[in-house]
Every structure is written in C-alpha cells, then in structure tokens.
Amino acid sequence: AQSVSQHNHHVILSEAASLELGCNYSYGGTVNLFWYVQYPGQHLQLLLKYFSGDPLVKGIKGFEAEFIKSKFSFNLRKPSVQWSDTAEYFCAVREYGNKLVFGAGTILRVKS
C-alpha cells in the first residue's frame, strides 16, 4: 500500500512570502495525486490534482504543484501567500477503489 510523507508539520510565513510544501509518496507506477486544504472549522477542499500530462498542475487560489516522477514527489507551491491561506494542507495519493491515502498534513500560519 502507498504511504505519503509531508516534510513539515508546521510552517509559519509572513504575508507575500513564497510557499513550498513537500510531499513524497512511497512507490511509483501510475499515480493520481491530490492536495487538499482544510481551513479552520471547515471541510476538506480540493486544491488541485494530477492524473497525467503536464507535470505542473495549477489549482485554485494561485496554488500549483509539480509532479516529479523520479523523486516520487508532488510539492505544493504558491509564489506569494496571503493571511487567508492559513490552513492545514494535506497531500494524498489515490489507491484502488478511489480510496485516498493522506499524509499527516502541514499546518500553515501566515502572519499579517
């Protein structure tokens, strides 16, 4: 079974700083990868997903992620964060039956 590791559990940034959150999954082959965000008190929402094609995926709210097959990685980036990006971010890989295997999450706090 797949496993997903997220490199940082807590990240604190100032507004306008650039963001990169690391995500690695455990083994290769065809993978479907996701980033979800959970704002305080809200449900998990899909930020972006990768199935195939262009390894640079653009999502909502200015987020993007790059799939690097050789590194088993799917890192999330945003050039300039805003206070409203304060949330918890989860990387996930899809398994058989559309089950999702999640990483432990990264809590992002953006200081205004």
Partner 1 sequence: DTGVSQNPRHKITKRGQNVTFRCDPISEHNRLYWYRQTLGQGPEFLTYFQNEAQLEKSRLLSDRFSAERPKGSFSTLEIQRTEQGDSAMYLCAAINQGNTEAFFGQGTRLTVV
Site residues (vs partner 1, CB under 8 A): 4, 9, 32, 36, 42-46, 49, 51, 90, 92, 94, 97-105
**Residue 102: CB minimum distance to partner 1, A:** 3
Distance of closest approach, residue 77 Cβ to partner 1, in angstroms? 20
Contacts of 61 (CB under 8 A, 6+ apart): 47, 78, 85
Please say which residue, 77 or 94, places its beta carbon nearer to partner 1: 94
- Give min distance, CB of 93 to partner 1, in A: 11
- Please report the sign of the dihedral spanned by the C-alpha atoms of residue 62, residue 85, residue 41, residue 104: positive
Helix, strand, coil abundance in the chain, percent, nearest 5: 10, 50, 40
Instruction: Give me the least distance between CB of 10 and partner 1, in Å please.
Output: 10
CB of 39 or CB of 83, closer to partner 1: 39
Place of tokens 């809590």: 107
* Cβ proximity to partner 1, 28 vs 97, nearer residue: 97
How far is Cα 97 from Cα 80, in angstroms, rounded to an integer?
36
Amino acid identity for residue 98 in this structure: N
